[in-house]
């Protein structure tokens, strides 16, 4: 067993895990954070995408011990009881979710992109989502939602600058 300490959504969490435990099972089983989904478990579908030190990774491919001492952000870290992250709000507003199973990973991938590049082109958005498979939506409304968040952000920045 290994003792690990991971900062998850700003909170330091500890667990004792066998060495083969993935970060995804630690999140879901040790810490009860079931927002990150177990889809393929081999890094193909992206439903388990989380941020580790700001980079989007498949939590099913990272061992929990590799996350020891790092900062992890999951879908649960984006919203609270009173508010939604702008990406979540846009996904909801534009009906970008259908079954919703891919959505936590999609939103984390989109956040990783926007943290890096707040004004991506449509191709850059599609490239950022290429590791997140979706069988319901055809990605159209997902791309629309992310585009809308970028536009709102650009408008807000424009207002700040002109003020």
Among 4, 6, 17, 45, binds another protein (CB under 8 A): 45
Other C-beta atoms within 10 Å of 9: how many? 16
**Which CA distances in Å does 81 have to 78, 99, 163?**
11, 22, 32
Contact between 121 and another protein (CB under 8 A)?
A: no
Contact between 94 and another protein (CB under 8 A)?
A: yes
Among 7, 66, 98, 147, binds another protein (CB under 8 A): 98
Question: Site size for another protein, by CB under 8 A?
Answer: 29
Q: Which residues contact 1 (CB under 8 A, 6 or more apart)?
A: 16, 17, 18
Contact between 126 and another protein (CB under 8 A)?
A: yes
CB of 16 to another protein, least distance (A): 32
Contact between 115 and another protein (CB under 8 A)?
A: no
CB of 122 to another protein, least distance (A): 9
Contact between 137 and another protein (CB under 8 A)?
A: yes
For the chain, give me the number of helices (H) and strands (E)? 5, 5
Strands 2-8 and 49-52: unpaired
Of 40 and 55, the one with the shorter C-beta distance to another protein is 40
Of 135 and 151, the one with the shorter C-beta distance to another protein is 135
Residues 24 and 59: their CA atoms lie apart, in Å, by 5
Residues 121 and 6: their CA atoms lie apart, in Å, by 34
User: Segment near another protein (CB under 8 A), from 2-10, 14-22, 38-46, 58-66?
Assistant: 38-46
Contact between 138 and another protein (CB under 8 A)?
A: yes
Among 26, 108, 142, 149, binds another protein (CB under 8 A): 142
Residues 38 and 35: their CA atoms lie apart, in Å, by 9
């Amino acid at each position: 067993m290994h003792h690990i300490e991971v900062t998850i959504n700003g909170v330091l969490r500890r667990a004792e895990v066998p060495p083969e435990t993935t970060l995804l099972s630690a999140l879901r089983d040790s810490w009860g954070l079931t927002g990150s989904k177990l889809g393929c478990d081999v890094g193909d579908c992206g439903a388990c995408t989380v941020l580790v030190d700001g980079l989007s990774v498949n939590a099913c491919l990272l061992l929990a011990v590799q996350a020891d001492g790092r900062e992890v952000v999951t879908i649960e870290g984006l919203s609270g009881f009173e508010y939604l992250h702008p990406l979540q709000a846009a996904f909801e507003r534009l009906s970008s979710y259908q079954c919703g199973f891919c959505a936590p990973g999609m939103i984390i991938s989109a956040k990783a992109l926007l943290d890096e590049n707040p004004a991506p082109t449509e191709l850059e958005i599609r490239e950022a989502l290429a590791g997140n498979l979706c069988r319901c939506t055809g990605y159209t409304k997902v791309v629309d939602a992310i585009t809308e968040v970028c536009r709102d952000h650009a408008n807000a920045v424009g207002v700040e600058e002109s003020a």
